[in-house]
Structure 1
Amino acid sequence: MPFYCQRCGTGLPLSARFCSNCGTVVTAAPPPPGRPLVRPIAGRQIAGVCIGVAQANGWNVTTVRILTVVGCVFTSGLVGVAYLAGWIGIPEEPIAMSAIYPPSQGSYPPGTPGNYPPSV
């Protein structure tokens, strides 16, 4: 993806902070909106690599899974190796934790008056 000065249109390297032609300060384009590449907890079949790639790029997950299987067969397992690398390299989606502590039932710590442990 080429990077150009907005003032004079000179092509610049991605690490440039100033235009080499006109001296204008250049800013990097913001990253495109979308989901980060993570392996989600819900909806996975094996490791969540296909659904993570599909969600990050806005693709259909079924199409990605079919292309993965077909690619694994036709590339003699090269796509399978890439899948394993994705399993290891793509981080798992963080688990959402409740901000409520301690639980609203009973009292905490044990031994304090209240209904802890629950009576049966």
Structure 2
Amino acid sequence: MPFYCQRCGAGLPPSARFCSNCGNVVTAAPPPPGRPLVRPIVGRQIAGVCIGVAQANGWDVTMVRILTVVGCLFTSGLVGVAYLAGWIGIPEEPIAVPGYPPNVPTYPPNTPGGYPPSV
């Protein structure tokens, strides 16, 4: 993925901290666009941590669940503690409600009249 200076547009290596052309301080590149880490409502088995991690990284959810169980057994519960931390720390997916927010007219309305509008 090419990396460019925001001021002059010069191509830069990913490890650059300053632009070699203009001397501008180079900020870190934003993360690639993808699905955010959330616990989905649909498809959960227990808390939705495994499906959330799988969807955020593009992995198979079945493999993540199997690795979680195996990891919990072989690490004396350390992965189970991490699962609980994910349950607490990863936010739930927001519920999409059709028609929300409602189409509320702005006041004062564009047509002649007062506030509140007369019916």
Query: Which TM bucket (shorter chain)?
Result: 0.5 to 0.7
Give the direction of change, closer, same or farther, for the CA distance of 1:10–1:93 in structure 2 (3 Å limit): closer
| Pairs within 5 Å for 1:1-120 | 7=11, 9=13, 11-12=15-16, 19=18, 23-99=23-99
Contact 1:40–1:92 (CA under 8 A) maintained in structure 2: yes
Deviation at 1:60, TM superposition (A): 0.0
Paired residue total: 94
Unaligned runs of 5+ in 2: 103-119
Contact 2:49–2:87 (CA under 8 A) maintained in structure 1: yes
- TM-score, normalised with respect to structure 2: 0.67
Measure the CA separation in 2 of the matches of 1:32 and 1:10: 14
Give the direction of change, closer, same or farther, for the CA distance of 1:94–1:20 in structure 2 (3 Å limit): same
Give the direction of change, closer, same or farther, for the CA distance of 1:52–1:21 in structure 2 (3 Å limit): same
Kindly provide the amino acid, as one letter, of the partner of residue 67 in structure 1.
L
SS of structure 2 residue aligned to 1:26: coil
Contact 1:10–1:21 (CA under 8 A) maintained in structure 2: no
Measure the CA separation in 2 of the matches of 1:79 and 1:86: 10
Give the direction of change, closer, same or farther, for the CA distance of 1:25–1:7 in structure 2 (3 Å limit): farther
Kindly provide the amino acid, as one letter, of the partner of residue 99 in structure 1.
G
Give the direction of change, closer, same or farther, for the CA distance of 1:10–1:52 in structure 2 (3 Å limit): closer
Deviation at 1:8, TM superposition (A): 6.2
Deviation at 1:24, TM superposition (A): 3.3
SS of structure 1 residue aligned to 2:64: helix
Deviation at 1:30, TM superposition (A): 3.0
Measure the CA separation in 1 of the matches of 2:15 and 2:35: 29
Contact 2:19–2:26 (CA under 8 A) maintained in structure 1: no
Kindly provide the amino acid, as one letter, of the partner of residue 60 in structure 2.
N
Contact 1:4–1:11 (CA under 8 A) maintained in structure 2: no
Identity %: 77
Contact 1:4–1:10 (CA under 8 A) maintained in structure 2: no
- TM-score, normalised with respect to structure 1: 0.66
